[in-house]
Amino acid sequence: MATYWKTININKSWDFNNKRFKKAKTESSNRIIRVNDDLLNILSELKPNNTKQVFDSVFGSVPGSGAVNKALRKVLKRAGISKKNYHFHSLRHSHVALLLHYGVDVYAISKRLGHADLTTTTRKYSYLIDEFKAKSDDHIEDLLNNFSTKKENKKIL
């Protein structure tokens, strides 16, 4: 049985047309993902006055994409980051890039993103996976070279 501490349960989405929460887009969109203490601490600081939602607009409702992107641009500017056409959804792509960079398996990333199958992930993030493949090919070549060198050393002995 899985332990559910240090996790975020993703089980619904916001319907901007009807101003209410609705079921997640697909069954695989329902997921529990592990996070670290830093993120949980930041989220708890963002949750004002014990409201149900972590993110509220100044009107006490779910903020729209325009408001979220405006807030993100302010944060990026304060951090000295200038990234044209970077929006809130871009954070998802950055997360995938970071996980791939550190060698996290594509299958694990796919499940974390809530994709129904690996094909969705590889199609959507192929540009990142191709970059990672080039690094992996270099690593494989190094491994094979080291293996060949060790094999030749054994022959000499």
pTM reported for the whole predicted model:
0.75
Least confident of 20-29, 42-51, 107-116, 147-156: 147-156
Question: Measured in whole angstroms, how far is the alpha carbon of residue 29 from the centre of its chain?
Answer: 13
What ranges make up the beta strands (E) of 17-77? 20-23, 31-34
**Cβ proximity of 152 and 145 under 8 Å:** no
Own/partner long-range contacts of 53-58 (Cβ < 8 Å, ≥24 apart): none
Average pLDDT, the chain: 85
Integer Cα distance of 10 and 21 in angstroms? 12
Which of 32, 34, 63 minimizes the C-alpha distance to 46?
A: 63
Q: At a CB cut-off of 8 Å and minimum separation 6, what does 69 contact?
A: 87, 88
Per-residue model confidence as pLDDT tens digits over 73-112: 999 999 999 988 999 999 999 999 999 988 899 999 999 9
Of 43, 38, 45, the residue nearest 9 (C-alpha): 43
CA distance linking residue 2 with residue 55, whole number of Å: 28
Q: Which residue do the tokens 């044209």 mark?
A: 84
Give residue 135's pLDDT: 79
Q: Where are the domains of the chain?
A: 89-157
pLDDT of residue 157: 47
